[in-house]
């Protein structure tokens, strides 16, 4: 074990603050990564502030982790000291169930091991995430990073990138399709970039008039500012696929009505309270309302390689770690352009 420093929430209403804790030394198949940057996901906020059930305190969030390998176990094959490495939302799974065997570890039937706030098989406690100086992860859950991209701006690909890439691949988004992206935050802005790179026509739905120009620059072909139902009417029945990345309660029915026959709305945003679905919106047109959780490890690697090839990174605002509470408050006001990334050099070592 070694002492590591991080930033933790001690309770649902306490701001995150420095916290020392123990990490395991790397075992035979483990990689120890010095964390250089960590993205700030809205899921970190939902968890740290106890908006979803089950947060164990102290809670150290962070699952968009990039850094350099500083120690490897004796049996590690894919990484050596000094390599760039990334860790996303999972650090383990059972590896034997039907989902794991299919490379869908996120849907592991016994539950994947989340990067934070999940039972830790090694320590018996819970896992601690990337708002910290270092992390130790089995190499099977460590990603190789493209060398040609800005490292800090790669961090958000590990959650926001894969969470938008995976459903678009599953539902075969591509040329000839019109795709709606709802909510221009961390996930939404990656969704626009990836849908555009996959060759679809992209319609961005945002509540923020101020983001109109950015949406076009990010790759949208059309932007709809969704204040009032009139704005959406021209798009009724026109969309093949919608990715909804909104973090708060909102009227899902207004979007279901925009789908073509047999179109699919995939919910990736995870508001804490239930959304109300008017079923006639599904019945009329055999439309589908679906969900999707991050992506498997092989698919995450595929997404990173895709982003390397297409020069895709997140648009980031770098922050020192002591600004993370302020970043959470800004995230709640939809004031993110378009992902906060923590510069881990600003966290004092233990
Ligand atoms: P974010 O950066 O805060 O973006 C959320 C965006 O939603 C905001 O920028 C805003 O966009 C829009 N929005 C916020 N409140 C709204 C409201 N009341 N009505 C309508 N629109 C609203 O959050 P994020 O990190 O992208 O995460 C988004 C959600 O996805 C969170 O719930 C997160 O937990 C979840 N998530 C799910 C997965 C998964 O695997 N399914 C993975 C990661 C995150 P506009 O200003 O454009 O309206
Ligand atoms: Zn996330
Ligand atoms: Zn499994």
Per-residue pLDDT of the chain (350 residues), as tens digits, is 999 999 999 999 999 999 999 999 999 999 999 999 999 999 999 999 999 999 999 999 999 999 999 999 999 999 999 999 999 999 999 999 999 999 999 999 999 999 999 999 999 999 999 999 999 999 999 999 999 999 999 999 999 999 999 999 999 999 999 999 999 999 999 999 999 999 999 999 999 999 999 999 999 999 999 987 789 999 999 999 999 999 999 999 999 999 999 999 999 999 999 999 999 999 999 999 999 999 999 999 999 999 999 999 999 999 999 999 999 999 999 999 999 999 999 999 76
Please count the residues of the chain.
350
For the chain, give every domain's residue range.
Answer: 2-159+295-346, 161-291
CATH class of 2-159+295-346: alpha beta
Distance 28 CA to ligand 1 centre (A): 38
Topology alike, domains 2-159+295-346 and 161-291: no
- Is any ligand 1 atom within 6 A of the Cβ of residue 45? no
Distance 345 CA to ligand 1 centre (A): 27
- Is any ligand 1 atom within 6 A of the Cβ of residue 245? yes
Distance 230 CA to ligand 2 centre (A): 32
- Is any ligand 1 atom within 6 A of the Cβ of residue 350? no
- Does this model's pTM top 0.85? My answer is yes
- Is any ligand 1 atom within 6 A of the Cβ of residue 187? yes
Report which ligand 1 atom has the smallest distance to the Cα of 41.
25
For ligand 1, atom 5, which residue shows the shortest CA distance?
A: 185
Fold of 161-291: Rossmann fold (3.40.50)
Question: First vs last Cα of the chain: how many Å apart?
Answer: 14
- Is any ligand 1 atom within 6 A of the Cβ of residue 186? yes
- Is any ligand 1 atom within 6 A of the Cβ of residue 225? no
């Amino acid at each position: 074990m070694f002492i590591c420093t991080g930033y933790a929430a001690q309770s649902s209403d306490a701001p995150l603050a420095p916290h020392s804790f123990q990490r395991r030394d790397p075992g035979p198949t483990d990689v120890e990564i010095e964390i250089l940057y960590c993205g700030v996901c809205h899921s970190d906020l939902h968890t740290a502030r106890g908006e979803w059930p089950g947060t164990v305190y102290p809670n150290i969030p962070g699952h968009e982790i990039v850094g350099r390998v500083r120690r490897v176990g004796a049996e590690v094959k894919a990484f050596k000291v000094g390599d760039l490495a990334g860790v996303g939302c999972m650090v383990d799974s059972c590896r034997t169930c039907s989902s794991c065997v299919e490379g869908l570890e996120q849907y592991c039937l016994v539950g994947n091991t989340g990067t934070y706030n999940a039972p830790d098989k090694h320590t018996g406690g819970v896992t601690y995430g990337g708002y910290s100086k270092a992390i130790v992860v089995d190499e099977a859950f460590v990603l190789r990073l493209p060398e040609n991209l800005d490292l800090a701006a790669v961090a958000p690909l590990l959650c926001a990138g894969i969470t938008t890439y995976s459903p678009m691949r599953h539902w075969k988004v591509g040329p000839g399709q019109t795709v709606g992206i709802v909510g221009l935050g961390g996930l939404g802005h990656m969704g626009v970039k990836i849908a555009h790179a996959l060759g679809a026509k992209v319609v961005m739905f945002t509540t923020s008039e101020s983001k109109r120009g950015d949406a076009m620059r990010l790759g949208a072909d059309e932007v709809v500012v969704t204040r009032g139902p009139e704005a959406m009417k021209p798009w009724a029945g026109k969309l093949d696929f919608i990715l909804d990345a909104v973090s708060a309660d909102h009227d899902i029915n207004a979007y279901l009505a925009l789908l073509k026959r047999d179109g699919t709305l995939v919910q990736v945003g995870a508001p804490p309270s239930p959304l109300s679905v008017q079923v006639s919106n599904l019945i009329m047109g055999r439309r589908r309302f679906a969900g999707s959780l991050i992506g498997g490890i092989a698919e995450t690697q595929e997404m990173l390689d895709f982003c390397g090839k297409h020069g895709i990174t997140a648009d980031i605002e770098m922050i020192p770690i002591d600004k993370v509470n302020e970043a959470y408050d800004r995230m709640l006001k939809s004031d993110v352009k378009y992902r906060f990334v923590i510069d881990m050099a600003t966290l004092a070592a233990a």
